Copies of this chain bind each other. A is one copy, B any other.
Amino acid sequence: MSITTPAGFEAAGIARGLKSTGALDLALVVNRGPSNAAAAVFTSNRCKANPVLWSEQVILDGVVSAVILNSGGANCYTGSFGFQTTHETAETVAANLGVSAGDVVVCSTGLIGVGDQVFRDKIVGGVPAAVASLSSDGGPDAALAIMTTDTKPKQAVAGGEGWSIGGMAKGAGMLAPGLATMLVVITTDADLPSEVLDRALRASTRVTFDRVDSDGCMSTNDTVTLMASGASGITPDAAVFTRALTALCHDLALQLQADAEGASHDITITVVNAASEDDAVVVGRAVSRSNLFKAAIFGNDPNWGRVLAAVGTTEAEFDPYNIDVTINGVMICKAGEPFEDRDLIDLTPRAVSVLIDLHVGAETAAIYTNDLTHDYVHENSAYAS
């Protein structure tokens, strides 16, 4: 049930003192082949961390032999010294594994601006021990080592007849603190070329990780890497593989949402009958980014007015006076007027469903977000101090 479930992969998670608690904080995932096909997607933030700048080059040829990931520092805005740290990390992994440094993806998570000599020594100096710890059941340790404020590791598996996909994730969409970088590593023993992997990964992340929007803040370090070992000897149909990959990403995305820092509600905003999928996403995202709406849900207040006010800020196609809003199954607003009784809505459960019917088309999209709570403010105001 981890990234080492698919054949051909080994992983390790070790402690290098990057976390003050002494917990595992350096993870290594190695693809033993026979294939080394890979794909990756990165944050669209223009302010990118050094590991992202490095890894964007690594993935260009569609070949990845290993991914090394650290918690305890984002190595973002740490200048040329920080980039050299990433480079040296990849070189050291490569030397210890007998592969090319240009095939080593590097991921970091933690505070921006953290990446000094001590940080470098802990990571680079830990590579031999990480390599020595590699095992075909090391997936769970790796999943632990990439956690920051995650309260639990996040793992999932999927697959088909004779082949499988494994995944691990950390972070909470773009949630805090320190922007809670989302790092994901996905492995498969299916035998697929990098072009197929790339298309499948982009199709999957578009409707899963890209739709988790805990607090509207975009990290500088987000990286999702997919590696295929081919060790099963099976080449599934691309559509079948994409469906399985999407299911796995959806599973991990909901685990991220459920563990979003400080949250007391998991809110699914579903927009239906939109003119286009883009419109549905834009409307859902506008609601997911309304602090007023999110604070209301924290207070168990089905404040549909704040939903419509957020919808109204978008350019999506709709008639403002022909929108229905249903919260937890109760249509509290129909055609822009109060409808069913707000007292029928029970917002005490953690799961909240908001259904917005735009009545103009047939497209739909769901956005996964959380409420705005005292714990969110606390954890994000007290983090760096």
- Since A77-B336, A215-B292, A289-B289 are in contact, a sample of 10 more A-B pairs with Cβ atoms closer than 8 Å, ordered by chain A residue number, is A46-B320, A47-B320, A77-B308, A78-B338, A218-B312, A291-B380, A298-B377, A299-B381, A301-B384, A303-B384
Chain B: minimal CB distance from A363 (Å): 19
Decide if A202 is an interface residue (CB 8 Å cutoff).
no
Q: State whether A309 touches B112 (Cβ < 8 A).
A: yes
- CB neighbours (8 Å) of A318 from chain B are 46
Given contact pairs A45-B313, A217-B310, A304 touches B113 in the complex (Cβ within 8 A):
yes
Interface string of A351-385 (1 = CB under 8 A from B): 00000000000000000000011101110111111
Decide if A105 is an interface residue (CB 8 Å cutoff).
no
Decide if A172 is an interface residue (CB 8 Å cutoff).
no
A295 interface neighbour in B312, B338, B380, Cβ under 8 Å: B380
Q: State whether A306 touches B385 (Cβ < 8 A).
A: no
Chain B: minimal CB distance from A314 (Å): 8
Decide if A124 is an interface residue (CB 8 Å cutoff).
no
- CB neighbours (8 Å) of A376 from chain B are 291, 295, 377
Complex: A95 Cα to B195 Cα, angstroms: 74
Decide if A48 is an interface residue (CB 8 Å cutoff).
yes
Decide if A208 is an interface residue (CB 8 Å cutoff).
no
Q: State whether A383 touches B301 (Cβ < 8 A).
A: yes
Q: State whether A47 touches B308 (Cβ < 8 A).
A: yes
Q: Is the interface of A mostly helix, strand, loop or mixed?
A: loop
Chain B: minimal CB distance from A298 (Å): 5
Complex: A46 Cα to B317 Cα, angstroms: 11
Complex: A312 Cα to B45 Cα, angstroms: 5
Q: State whether B313 touches A218 (Cβ < 8 A).
A: yes
Q: State whether B385 touches A301 (Cβ < 8 A).
A: yes
A299 interface neighbour in B178, B291, B314, B385, Cβ under 8 Å: B385
- CB neighbours (8 Å) of A381 from chain B are 295-296, 298-299, 301, 372
- CB neighbours (8 Å) of A46 from chain B are 311-314, 318, 320
Decide if A111 is an interface residue (CB 8 Å cutoff).
yes
Chain B: minimal CB distance from A121 (Å): 19
Decide if A337 is an interface residue (CB 8 Å cutoff).
yes
Given contact pairs A295-B380, A296-B384, A377-B374, A305 touches B217 in the complex (Cβ within 8 A):
no
Residue of B nearest to A310 (CB): B217
Q: State whether B112 touches A308 (Cβ < 8 A).
A: yes
Residue of B nearest to A315 (CB): B46
Select the residue from A111, A292, A299, A372 with max chain B CB neighbours within 10 A.
Answer: A292
